[in-house]
Amino acid sequence: EVQLVQSGAEVKKPGESLKISCKGSGYSFTSYWIGWVRQMPGKGLEWMGIIYPGDSDTRYSPSFQGQVTISADKSISTAYLQWSSLKASDTAMYYCARPPDSGYYPVYWGQGTLVTVSS
């Protein structure tokens, strides 16, 4: 069974750094991209970027370029989303997702990681 399990909720202060994770299981981690999606409180879904774990090729949505870093460690089947200096506006739910076996669209989703940034 394909599963994406994300790390737990985080509460941070502005200016702090953070790295959240998304662990894939039940499939070959390097064979499918992982995408990250942001959902701010009460708002819609926003595509942040994508990583191909096989070679760590990464693409960012223009809105998130330079704001976050997406990475992966294929040895432990885990993708990451990280911030070097959090802002209050980073408060949101973050989801990871991957495509189906034959397709190129998000179908499997993690349960989400809630990040709260507050002084």
Partner 1 sequence: QSVLTQPPSASGTPGQRVTISCSGSSSNIGSNYVYWYQQLPGTAPKLLIYRNNQRPSGVPDRFSGSKSGTSASLAISGLRSEDEADYYCAAWDDSLSDLYVFGTGTKVTVL
Q: Which residue type occupies 26?
A: G
Which residue in 32, 27, 10, 25 sits closest to 81, CA to CA?
10
The token duo for 115 is 């990040």
Any idea what DSSP says for residue 29? G
Of 13 and 43, nearer to partner 1 (C-beta) is: 43
Q: How many residues bind partner 1 (CB under 8 A)?
A: 23
Q: Interface mask (CB under 8 A) for partner 1, residues 80-119, using x and -?
A: ---------------x-------xxxxx-xxxx-------
Q: Interface mask (CB under 8 A) for partner 1, residues 26-65, using x and -?
A: -------x-x-x------xxxx-xx--------x-xxx--
Sign for the pseudo-dihedral over CA of 26, 29, 35, 37: positive
Residue that the structure tokens 């999606």 belong to? 37
**Binding positions for partner 1, rule: CB under 8 A:** 33, 35, 37, 44-47, 49-50, 59, 61-63, 95, 103-107, 109-112
